[in-house]
Amino acid sequence: MSRILIIFILQFSYILCFSQENVTVSPFITVDGEKILTSNIPQLDIIDFKSNEERKSFFKLKKRVLKVYPYALETRVKVDSLNIALESINKKRKKRRYLKEVTKIIKSQYTSALKKLTMKEGRILIKLIYRETGISTYNHLRKYRGWWNTTMWQTFARMYDMNLKTTFDPENVREDMFIEKIIDQAKREGRFN
């Protein structure tokens, strides 16, 4: 029993040395004459990669997700504020005029930054917008810009093997599961709110 305790303490001290999070150790408790160490150990995610190529692609994906995720967060905030503003406007004509003004402002703010994204980053952004808002990019465009604009943007996206109707499903899609893990880890590290 003492060998097991020594091995456990050595492993625990190894975790303490290489962990970046705070670990608090409580005093030992006694259960049925056995002393048991109680502690608060930080969560450790273990990801099993199928191959070395998948591991490499995970780290590329991580870089892309961390670059694009702030845009998805801003999209959620903008959509929420836009919905609140549109609810306060009664007439359809005034809503259309307001949407045109907002469209001009958003284009001037984000066009240059979004043009710098790669195709894969764009695909990830489409998924993350769905993750944050619960509505696909296609449906957002359809709601705010109308059927014709949405059809044109979807056609343009399909020419480049993209789809504005893409959803985020971490339960069934492995890449989406990796994206979810990356975001959870970044939030625990304090990168995003």
Exposed, middle or buried by CB within 10 Å (0-12, 13-18, 19+), for 76? middle
Structure-token pair, residue 142: 């359809």
What pLDDT sits at residue 30? 78
What pLDDT sits at residue 44? 67
What pLDDT sits at residue 178? 93
Sign of dihedral through CA atoms 80, 82, 85, 88?
A: negative
What pLDDT sits at residue 155? 94
Classify residue 169 by its DSSP letter.
-
Q: What is the pLDDT along the chain (193 residues), one digit of tens a residue?
A: 556 655 556 555 555 555 555 555 566 777 788 877 777 666 667 777 888 998 899 999 999 999 999 999 999 999 999 999 999 989 989 999 999 999 899 989 998 998 999 999 999 999 999 999 999 999 999 998 889 999 999 999 999 899 999 999 999 999 999 999 999 989 988 887 6
Q: Is 81 left (phi over 0), alpha (psi -120 to 50) or beta?
A: alpha
What pLDDT sits at residue 17? 53
What's phi and psi for 39, nearest 5 deg?
A: -155, 165
What pLDDT sits at residue 159? 92
Q: Is 161 left (phi over 0), alpha (psi -120 to 50) or beta?
A: left
- Work out the number of other CB atoms within 10 angstroms of the CB of residue 125: 21
Q: Is this structure's pTM higher than 0.85?
A: no
Q: Determine the distance from the C-alpha atom of residue 8 to the mean position of all C-alpha atoms in its chain, rounded to a whole number.
A: 35
For helices 92-115 and 137-145, what crossing angle results, to 10°? Answer: 140
Q: Which helix (H) or strand (E) holds 29?
A: strand 29-31
Nearest residue to 180 via CA among 167, 169, 189: 169
